[in-house]
Amino acid sequence: MWGSCKGSGSRPYQTAVDLAGPAFRCTCPSRKFPCKHALGLLLLWAEGESGPITADTEPDWVEQWTAARRKKAEEAAAKEPKAAAGPADPDAARKRAERRAVRVEGGAAELEQRLTDLLRGGLAGADRAGYQQWDEVAARMVDAQAPGLASRVRELGALPATGGDWPSRMLEETALLHLLARGFLGRERLPGPLAETVRTRIGFTVDTAEVLAGPTVRGQWLVLAQYDTADDRLTTRRIWLHDEGAGRFALLLSFGAAGRAPELALAVGTVMDAELAYHPAALPLRAALGPRHDIGRPVRIPAGTATGQALAAYGSALADDPWLDAFPVLLGPVVPLPGPDRWQLADAHSDDAIPVAGMGPSAALWRLAAVSGGHPLTVFGELGPTGIRPLTAWTDGSPEPIAL
Amino acid sequence: MDVTWDDLVGSALLGTERRRPPGVVGDAEEAAAGLLDAAAAGVVRRRAGLRPGIAGQRPKPAPADRRPPLPEAARRRLAMLLADRTGDGARGGRRGAAPNLTELLPQWLGAARAEGYAAPPELLPALLDAARARTDLRPDALALAGPRGLWLAGLNPDWKFALRAGPAGAAPGTAGGEDPETARRLWEEGLFAERVALLTRMRLAEPAAALELLDSTWRGERAEDRLMFLDSLRTGLGPADEPFLEEALSDRSRNVRATAAELLSALPGSALAGRMAARARACVRLGPDGITVEAPHACDAEMERDGVARKPPSGRGERAWWLGQLVDAAPLSAWPEHFGGRSPEQIIALPVPDDWQADLHAAWCRAAVRQRDPQWARALLGPPPAASAPVAAVGDPAKLLAILPVDERAEWVAEFIGTHGLSEAFQMLGVCAVPWAGRLGRAVIDALDMARDVGSYPWSFSGVMGLAERCLDPAVAEQVALLSATAEDAPDGAPGATAYWSEAFQRLTSTLRLRRLMLAELRPGSPG
């Protein structure tokens, strides 16, 4: 997309935006990036004004730019395998990894001791002790370079305050932590993919380039949902993709510093002909986005399953990854049933229903109810132990998904 | 395995030192580890074995809405306007040259409603939230929301206001044509707000049936409720309501009596209006030096029953107070004959000795407003005062203007602004039809241009500027754009004023352009 903008200079600025990046180029001297001319161009595009930005006849300077970008990307792609093949000093890297493994083992063992102590003394006092002691344990896990353990421990501290049947939930979470810690300590004896799942849950990360260097799957990926969660240090963006032909889901994660939007942004409803590489895991869901070849619009509503089938699928997924708390499901046709505290999604043709996660209706749930109007829908959501979190809906008439 | 999850939770709660789960051996420490193992197996089994629950009560499907959906660009625009409403607080006070979207929302809603669109379902929650926060948005927002919106509002107590919204809130097709049986049941069993809504709704379509409903339970209602119900008779008021209102003049509650009298005096043919006219005529006569006024000496019981308040507000003489009430409740149509066939203009031109002129004319102004009499309103307003004349007019010019036909109103105000500038014009502009007529718009732009040339600061005109953003015809955007070019500061003007003016005009321009675009989006077929 390109345009020229009459600025204060003698010649109009030449501005171009590559929407796939997004990437920007402008001949203006502004040091802001993207500059206001590129933003203006984007705004015009967002308004749907087709005036100056038809792509039919790209002037030379736009073609030069896109060609240069393409070349750079190819060069980068050519360099990547080398980078992935070996860091500067493989020996040092291996030593670092070993040192970290030892520290995490220490952390896991310490956590095991804490959990055993907790159950010796009983959970009954845990609601009085507050989350302070758990924050302390979480800090120890951060020191041990096991951020995945740390965040689970921190959530444990908040549990007693949620009221209701908290001892049961507390035991569930402690047991899963125990399972994770034991899993890591005994990782040598686990099958490869499960060991990878355990490592990921503990908080080991895999380099995206390394993942992409492995096998990729090409497919027609429909962007199902995109949403951000933020804590005080980090904004995490989750993007769910679905390839209906292959019946595959994929989760892209993208991170930004606190208060800033993560880099990757994909519009819900876009269909990408793209290559993905799954992170190694017993239940491959998380993926890295590889080359994109084409984008289009959806032509039909994805097929949904009944609630019973969705729960069964979640059950078998738990066998691969017991710590799974967001399993992608497409339900349909279902009707949202508002309730005074818990909402439900009910099969249109049977009496079965799944509870909606979370207490009290959120803005997304009201949108879901509004879109449904009491009629059946197809719904995409994340299924977890307490119910489903609806993220996207399709009404009968249109293949365009409605983000909730 | 015979150990149930509840057993595990039981021992976890008390601690393995006190209670160990069945089948787990070893000392307390080993038992704790065993408990964790068992629980880990248990939790996976529990979660993997989740079965669907039994569906609760299904909501009744929302009635179908056959209105066309919004064009895509308009749908995005609405989403943006609604999103901006919540984002406003974070951006802080000064707007610079950016248009104020919050003020465009009402206009967008009105225009979209006029085009007969249905609001997109996914935006209904935001739309209802907006209408909840701003009552002025409710009629248009609820009309756009339509049956689906009403259905949704029934599920969320936060949106209860939509259920009791007045006639304007009712979706097209549901207004009027009330089923008598349902109406009666609602009237007898409904909540107060629902009953008021019902009454107001029915008054639009079948005023007589509404009155009958009200009459059927009138004597049993509480005084506050009677007052509210009586007030809703304003809609569709007609001669048929007279007997009921006449009876209400003897009501136990003073406020009810006063409202009944006020409604009756708005019916020029009513007996009360006749009685007031007779009283007023006795006080106001044609004399040798113009109009002789002899204010009443007492306020008798009959007058009080007809709604005359005996006690004047502090600072006003009681006789003048009574006179005012008699004259403003008397039908204006009775005066020309009383003054020897003179027209309203001629009557107003008659001299009124003994300082009664102000009281008398003010009372006529109130009467003209209450009886919506354009002829008298025109006569009382007179032509816009000349540049040298004092601006102060009789009564409230804005209220009188509101009675005049739209074109005449715009002409009058345009001329007024041409001679007096903008400082007194705010309220008058407020009653002019939107978008402002060509001549009025030009008058406002010229006056703003002039104000800049004299060197005043633009925020002295922020009220008018705000109105102009909303009310100027978007077609004049390019005219305003010419003004936003920065010029030299006026030599004797406030320093820096020109830059602020230029920013203010830029904002006005961008708002007008945005309005033009936004209206064009609602009519994708026709050239914007």
pLDDT digits (tens, 9 = 90+) for A340-361: 778 999 999 999 999 998 766 7
Give CA–CA dist B267/B270, Å, rounded.
6
Contact A318 B125 (CB under 8 A): no
Tell me the average pLDDT across B473-486. 79
pLDDT of residue B341: 86
Tell me the average pLDDT across B41-63. 89
Residue B105 has pLDDT above 80, yes or no: yes
Return the minimum-mean-pLDDT range out of A17-21, B61-65, B181-185, B370-374: A17-21
Is residue B284 helix, strand or coil? strand
Residue A85 has pLDDT above 70, yes or no: no
Residue B93 has pLDDT above 50, yes or no: no
Question: What band does B168 get if pLDDT is binned at 50, 70 and 90?
Answer: very low
Q: What is the ipTM of this complex?
A: 0.79
pLDDT digits (tens, 9 = 90+) for A156-175: 888 877 777 888 888 999 99
Residue A184: list chain B partners with CB under 8 A: none
Of residues B14, B51, B62, nearest to A374 (C-beta): B62
CATH no. for A211-296: 2.40.50
Instruction: Kindly identify which residue of chain B lies nearest to residue A49, measuring between CA atoms.
Output: B73
Residue B188 has pLDDT above 80, yes or no: yes
B372: CB partners within 8 A, 6+ apart: B403
**Touching B: A residues 116-135, CB under 8 Å:** 116-124
pLDDT of residue B96: 60
Tell me the average pLDDT across B35-48. 90
pLDDT digits (tens, 9 = 90+) for B202-255: 888 888 888 988 988 898 888 888 998 898 888 888 888 999 999 898 888 888
Q: Regarding beta strands A352-355 and A327-337, do their DSSP bridges make them parallel or antiparallel, or are they unpaired?
A: unpaired
Tell me the average pLDDT across A83-92. 63
- In chain B, domain spans: 5-45, 72-82+101-169, 284-299+306-382, 398-522
Asked whether A248 and A260 are in contact (CB, 8 A), the reply is no
**Touching A: B residues 49-78, CB under 8 Å:** 49-62, 72-73, 76
> Which of A8, A111, A119 best tests the B interface by mutation, with the highest count of B CBs <10 A?
A119
How close, in Å, is residue A264 to chain B by CA atoms? 22
pLDDT digits (tens, 9 = 90+) for A173-196: 999 999 999 999 998 998 888 999
**Touching B: A residues 292-321, CB under 8 Å:** 307-308, 311, 314-316, 318-319
Of A85-99, B116-130, B507-521, where does the model show the most confidence? B116-130
Return the minimum-mean-pLDDT range out of A144-148, A249-253, A261-265, A329-333: A261-265
Contact A120 B53 (CB under 8 A): no
Task: Give the length of chain B.
Answer: 528
Residue B123 has pLDDT above 90, yes or no: yes
Residue B29: list chain A partners with CB under 8 A: 116, 120
> Which of B50, B67, B127 best tests the A interface by mutation, with the highest count of A CBs <10 A?
B50
How close, in Å, is residue A99 to chain B by CA atoms? 28
B483: CB partners within 8 A, 6+ apart: B445, B448, B449, B452, B501, B505
Residue B31: list chain A partners with CB under 8 A: 120
Q: What is the DSSP letter of B136?
A: G
The whole-chain average pLDDT of chain B stands at: 83
**Touching A: B residues 178-237, CB under 8 Å:** none
- SS3 string of chain A? CEEEECCCCCCCEEEEEECCCCEEEECCCCCCCCCHHHHHHHHHHHHCCCCCCCCCCCCHHHHHHHHHHHHHHHHHHHHHHHHHHCCCCHHHHHHHHHHHHHHHHHHHHHHHHHHHHHHHHCHHHHHHHCCHHHHHHHHHHHHCCCHHHHHHHHHHHHHHHHCCCHHHHHHHHHHHHHHHHHHHHCHHHCCHHHHHHHHHHHCCCCCHHHHHHCCCEEEEEEEEEEEEEECCCEEEEEEEEEECCCCEEEEEEEEEECCCCCCCCCCCCCEEEEEEEECCCCCCCEEEEEEEEEEECCCCCCCCECHHHHHHHHHHHHHHCCCCCCEEEEEEEEEEECCCCCCEEEECCCCEEEEECCCCCCHHHHHHHHHHCCCCEEEEEEEECCEEEEEEEECCCCCCCEEC
Question: What band does B176 get if pLDDT is binned at 50, 70 and 90?
Answer: very low
pLDDT digits (tens, 9 = 90+) for B377-427: 988 888 887 766 665 555 678 888 888 888 888 988 898 888 888 878 888
Return the minimum-mean-pLDDT range out of A49-63, A160-174, A325-339: A49-63
Please indicate if any CB of chain A lies within 8 Å of the CB of B29. Answer: yes
Beta strands in B8-93 (DSSP E): 53-54
Check residues A267 and A64 and name the one with the higher pLDDT: A267
pLDDT digits (tens, 9 = 90+) for A285-310: 999 999 888 888 888 899 999 999 99
Residue B19 has pLDDT above 90, yes or no: no
Contact A370 B52 (CB under 8 A): no
How close, in Å, is residue A285 to chain B by CA atoms? 18
